[in-house]
Structure 1
Amino acid sequence: MKHLQQELVEIYAYQSAKEGKPYCGDSYYFTATEEYFLCVLADGLGSGRYAYEASSAVVEVVKDNINDDVETLMKRCNEVLAQKRGAAVAVLKVNFLTREFEYSCVGNIRFYLYTPTGKAIYPLLFIYANWQSDISFANKRFLIRASAKHSYTTFFI
């Protein structure tokens, strides 16, 4: 399990291949700076080597373009998958300075946002939220969980 803890974010991530298989078709990447937190989760279609190649390509394109907004990252992910099997993809970017986050997902990756009171929010469409007005989180931590079939990521922000 990978763990990262900073002042504004704490991340736990776990990934495993299907039993007895050499490749995991799920990939993820996260990074955090003083300004933002960025995470991508990709679930390559099918399983095995080609699912791994698709999900890994998504991760690499996000790593190479971490300063882009979520919409641009999703477009880049789509472009890199054009000659691959395809993948379900979710991208989350939290801006610590503006106290806003952006989220976009294509496919069956589940995303839940938990408020400090425990209320779960399950977005069906693109989210762009200001913590203080849209969701009223001023100066409080909240929990985000995302999961694909064999990858589980929990964020405390």
Structure 2
Amino acid sequence: MKVAVGSDHAGFALKEKVKALLQELGHEVLDFGCHSTESVDYPVYGVKVAKAVASSEATRGILICGTGLGMSMVANRFPGIRAALCHELFTTKMARLHNDANILVMGGRVIGDALALEMVKVFLETPFEGGRHERRIRQIDNFKEEV
């Protein structure tokens, strides 16, 4: 699977660990930055990952900032993006099963590395359940058209 990753300075260290895990699992990684702990503006990197997933350049995305809040707000502005801010395994699994989340967002200052890496595995391995959930996703897409 081709996975786009991005972070700000607060998520940089975790992004590097996520990249290593993704590569170890055999996924192709598109790293949209940032590339150090020097202070940067998170929207720049959130936009890059969201555009890559929305355009199908990447199958899924992973975004990391300090809390995950800013990155999730940025990513969810794009049509077709369902970015899920998750802090534990159950929510991560349900984001895929019921919401067909295509971007996992995590807070690098909120969760530990071991948990984050397990969340990445769950996010990539869990299929979308479809069925009644498909209808609900279409409703969300239709609401965006009304705005």
- TM superposition score normalised by structure 1: 0.32
- Structure with bigger helix share is 2
TM-score (normalizing by structure 2): 0.33
Structure 1 or 2: more strand by fraction: 1
